[in-house]
């Protein structure tokens, strides 16, 4: 059974129209990550939560926001998507322990038209 | 700040041979963890192996082993007896820092192609 679930798998949105991607987990992990991955590139960390403590990367554009209403769910909001925001968005979870692996969802591929 | 460097954009290996994928890292933290992930063309990230900064033995998981040289800040992945299904992107990653701020940072990846 999938432990980290991202919805939808594919999302098409219009230029400038707000879009929300969702991630849920059944692992009860403290930490949730959001990554942006463009074609043939490394995943780029946008932000992460440790419980409710939000950690924003310094170079994450203000256009990207996140919410974590409870342990199980985390949302990525893109307020005004541009063509450059088309990418795969990956959600991952882990415990606070240093050595525990991160479990990834299957990703949401975002297309901006 | 943490940094992971993978200097091999692409590698070729013959089926059944061994291959080493390079990874160097930089961090000011004394405690850190190093990970390798495999990403097939389908896109999911698959965990392969972990090495802790205080682990004295090199990690091994089946055909995967990690050649950890702490003084050189390198954590190379060795895949023995390569199989066609090993063809994928491979990412080295690191976690370090205080409990609440342990970002998982990835290198730029190496695309491995296994040839029959």
- The predicted-structure confidence for A61-110, as pLDDT tens digits, reads as follows 999 999 999 999 999 999 999 999 999 999 999 987 888 889 999 999 99
pLDDT per position as a tens digit, B33-46: 999 999 998 888 99
Alpha carbons A107 and B4: distance in angstroms, whole number: 23
Of A21-25, A53-57, B3-7, the range with the lowest mean pLDDT is A53-57
* Nearest residue of A to residue B34, measured between CA atoms: A99
pLDDT in the model for residue A39: 87
Task: Say what percent of chain B tops pLDDT 90.
Answer: 83
Contact: A96, B99; criterion CB under 8 Å: yes
Predicted confidence at residue B55, as pLDDT, reads 92
Q: What is the mean pLDDT of residues B87-116?
A: 90
Rounded-to-integer distance, Cα A26 and Cα A39, Å: 29
Contact residues, chain A, for B111 at CB < 8 Å: 40
Tell which A residues from 47 to 66 touch B, by Cβ distance under 8 Å.
Answer: 48, 50-51, 53, 55, 57
Pick from A29, A52, A18: which is nearest to A105 by CA?
Answer: A29
Using a CB-CB cut-off of 8 Å, the residues of chain B touching A101 are 35, 47, 50
Burial class of A28 by CB neighbour count within 10 A (0 to 12, 13 to 18, 19+)? exposed
Supply the mean pLDDT for chain B. Answer: 94
Interface membership of A32 toward B (CB under 8 Å): no
- Output the pLDDT for position B62: 97
Residue B34 in contact with partner chain A when CB distance is under 8 A: no
Q: What is the pLDDT of residue B100?
A: 61
């Amino acid at each position: 059974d999938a432990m980290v679930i991202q919805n939808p798998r594919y999302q098409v949105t219009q230029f400038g129209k707000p879009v929300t991607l969702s991630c849920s987990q059944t692992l009860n992990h403290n930490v949730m990550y959001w990554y942006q991955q463009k074609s043939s590139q490394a995943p780029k960390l946008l932000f992460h939560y440790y419980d409710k403590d939000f950690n924003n990367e310094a170079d994450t554009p203000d256009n990207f926001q996140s919410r974590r209403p409870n342990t199980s769910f985390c949302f990525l909001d893109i307020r005004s998507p541009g063509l450059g925001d088309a990418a795969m968005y990956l959600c991952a979870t882990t415990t606070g322990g240093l050595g525990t692996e991160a479990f990834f969802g299957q990703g949401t591929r975002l297309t901006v038209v | 700040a943490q940094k992971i460097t993978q200097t091999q954009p692409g590698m070729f290996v013959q089926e059944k041979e061994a291959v080493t994928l390079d990874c160097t890292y930089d961090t000011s933290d004394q405690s850190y963890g190093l990970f390798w992930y495999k990403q097939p063309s389908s896109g999911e990230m698959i965990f392969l192996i972990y090495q802790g900064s205080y682990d004295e033995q090199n990690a091994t998981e089946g055909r995967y082993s990690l050649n950890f040289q702490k003084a050189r800040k390198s954590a190379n992945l060795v895949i023995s007896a390569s199989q066609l299904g090993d063809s994928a992107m491979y990412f080295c990653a690191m976690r370090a820092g205080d409990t609440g701020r342990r970002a998982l940072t990835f290198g730029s990846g190496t695309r491995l192609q296994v040839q029959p």
